[in-house]
Amino acid sequence: MEYIINNLDQTLLIELYKNLLKPRMIEEKMLVLLRQGKISKWFSGIGQEAISVGITMALDKEEYILPMHRNLGVFTTRKIPLYRLFSQWQGKASGFTKGRDRSFHFGAQHYKIVGMISHLGPQLGVADGIALASKLKDKNSVTAVFTGEGGTSEGDFHEALNIASVWQLPVLFCIENNGYGLSTPASEQYNCKDLADRGLGYGMESHIIDGNNILEVYTKVSEIAKSVRENPRPVLIEFKTFRMRGHEEASGTKYVPDELMNEWAKKDPILNYEVFLKQNGFISDEDIHALKESITHEIEEHLKVTFEEEDIIPNETDELNDLFQNFKYQEVKHNTETKEIRFIDAISESLKQSMELHKDLVIMGQDIAEYGGAFKITEGFLEQFGKDRVRNTPICESGIVETAMGLSIAGMKSVVEMQFADFVSSGFNPIVNYLAKSHYRWGQNADVVIRMPCGGGVGAGPFHSQTNEAWFTKAPGLKVVYPAFPYDAKGLLATAINDPNPVLFFEHKALYRSIRQDVPEDYFTLPFGKASMIKKGSQITVITFGAAVHWALETLNKNPNVSADLINLRTLQPLDTETIYASVKKTGRAIILQEDSLFGGIASDISALILENCFEYLDAPVKRVASMETPIPFAPQLEQQYLPKNRFENTLLELLAY
Active site residues: 464
C-alpha dist (Å) from residue 102 to 89, 122, 268, 535 = 6, 18, 28, 50
Report the DSSP beta bridge partners of residue 148: 176
Local structure of 315: helix, strand or coil: coil
In our burial notation (b when 16+ CB lie closer than 10 A, e otherwise), range 233-267 reads bbbbbbbbbbbbbbbebeeebeebeeeeeeebeeb
**Nearest-CA neighbor of 91 among 307, 292, 261, 342?**
307
Q: Which backbone phi and psi does 451 adopt, to 5 degrees?
A: -85, 135
Alpha carbon 313 to chain centroid, angstroms: 28
Question: Phi-psi category of 372—alpha, beta or left, where left has phi over 0 and alpha has psi -120 to 50?
Answer: left
Q: Which backbone phi and psi does 333 adopt, to 5 degrees?
A: -85, 150
Contact 332, 523 (CB under 8 A): yes
The amino acid that residue 282 corresponds to is F
Local structure of 433: helix, strand or coil: helix
Sign of the dihedral through C-alpha 594, 598, 601, 603: positive
Cβ contacts of residue 111 below 8 Å, gap of 6+? Answer: 75, 78, 79, 80
* End-to-end Cα, the chain, rounded Å: 85
In our burial notation (b when 16+ CB lie closer than 10 A, e otherwise), range 447-456 reads bbbbbbbbbb
Residue 30 to residue 43: CA distance in whole angstroms: 10
Cβ contacts of residue 280 below 8 Å, gap of 6+? Answer: none
**Nearest-CA neighbor of 362 among 502, 166, 165, 497?**
497
Residue 361 to residue 435: CA distance in whole angstroms: 17
> What is the helix (H) or strand (E) element at residue 36, kind and residue range?
none
Q: What is the DSSP string of 66-110?
A: E--TT-HHHHHHTT--HHHHHHHHTT-TTSSSTTSS-TT--EEGG
Contact 563, 613 (CB under 8 A): no
Q: Cβ of 225: how many Cβ atoms within 10 Å?
A: 21
**Nearest-CA neighbor of 136 among 364, 341, 470, 316?**
364
Cβ contacts of residue 240 below 8 Å, gap of 6+? Answer: 177, 208, 209, 210, 211, 212
Contact 39, 30 (CB under 8 A): yes
Extended strands (E) in 123-274? 143-148, 171-177, 180-181, 184-185, 205-210, 235-240
Local structure of 412: helix, strand or coil: coil
Report the DSSP beta bridge partners of residue 451: 417, 505
